[in-house]
Amino acid sequence: MNINSSFFHKTAAGLFAALGVGALVISLGLPQPAFADDNGNGKGNSNRAQQGDDNGQRNAPNKPDPIGAWFGIARPCPTSPTTDSSLHADFCTQVCGLCPNAGILPPEVPMMPTLLADGTVLADDAGEIGLYHTTAHGKWTTSDKDGLVDLPGTDRFKATFFWLGQTPPAFGLLGNGVRPRFVTYFDPKNPDVMIGYIQPYFFPIAAGGLVIVNPPVNPLNSLTGNHIPTIDPLVSPLPTGCDLSKGCLGTYHFVIRRVKAE
């Protein structure tokens, strides 16, 4: 994705000046079906028909997994020397080095991602309160031998999700989409907490509330032409690394905790 830097910065600055990033997206293919049956508390069910309750008290034990609803707070990298731990500082350095960003990221993004057993991910965040954007939809899968940072003792998962939003001052009109690289690290010995990071990529897909689209290349092909955005947020993969020239607004590090049934 090549976006003119000055146009991108101006557009993105208008968006996030009103109120920050949100939940962010791609299609990465279906995950392995290892977690096809789950009760949302990090324990798979050997037979869904035998599920006793939402706390898994009568479920056959299985390998813990990240399926379920999560809540946490993401904050920008590089970390704060006064409020963040050395672990998070080292983590940010491993992920993004000096961690360049657009200078417009909010100081925090409370968020609620949900990982479903079929590989779907849904995500909401506090950015939806001050500057409306849609709930994010996307896919999650296992992450292995793909060049991403390892954390010893954890299983790595990656997701990408996508939302539609406004670009101030054009409130009430579609202006953009955002799609991130979303990576989490799951410790089977501590299955209710995950550390991770998000790198949101900004796509100014619309003007005046209408999506800017490609002209029809082949009138006989009904699946192309003016149904595909000119700046296509679903082109994969996302660029390697994160800086403004690639449309990436910056890197957030986070801790999320599982929302458990009572």
Q: Find the domain containing 198 and state its range.
A: 5-258
Q: Which residue's structure tokens are 């955005």? A: 229
In the DSSP assignment, the letter for residue 34 is G
* pLDDT at residue 127, as a whole number: 84
Q: Torsion angle, CA of 15/18/20/26, rounded to 10 degrees? A: -30
How far is it, in rounded angstroms, from Cα 218 to Cα 171? 35
* pLDDT at residue 44, as a whole number: 52
Please state the φ and ψ torsions of residue 14, each to the nearest 5 degrees: -60, -40
How far is it, in rounded angstroms, from Cα 67 to Cα 48? 15
Q: Torsion angle, CA of 18/23/24/28, rounded to 10 degrees? A: 180
Among candidates 224, 24, 32, which has minimal Cα distance to 138?
Answer: 24
Give the count of domains, the chain. Answer: 1
pTM here is: 0.78
How far is it, in rounded angstroms, from Cα 262 to Cα 7? 49
Do residues 139 and 28 lie in contact, with contact meaning Cβ atoms separated by under 8 Å?
Answer: yes
Report CA-CA distances (Å) from 244 to 69, 197, 250.
31, 17, 8
Please state the φ and ψ torsions of residue 125, each to the nearest 5 degrees: -155, 170
Q: What is the pLDDT of residues 131-188, one digit of tens each?
A: 789 999 999 999 999 999 999 999 999 999 999 998 888 888 999 999 999 999 999 9
Neighbours of 120 (CB within 10 A): 16
| pLDDT digit string (tens) for the chain, length 262 residues | 444 444 444 455 444 444 343 433 333 333 443 444 455 556 554 334 333 333 333 344 678 999 999 999 999 999 998 899 999 999 999 999 999 888 877 899 999 999 999 999 999 999 888 878 999 999 999 999 999 999 999 999 999 999 999 888 888 899 999 999 999 999 999 999 999 999 999 999 999 999 999 887 777 777 777 888 999 999 888 999 999 999 999 999 999 999 999 8
**Residues contacting 156, CB < 8 A, separation 6+:** 142, 143, 144, 148, 150, 183, 184, 185, 186
Do residues 124 and 135 lie in contact, with contact meaning Cβ atoms separated by under 8 Å?
Answer: yes
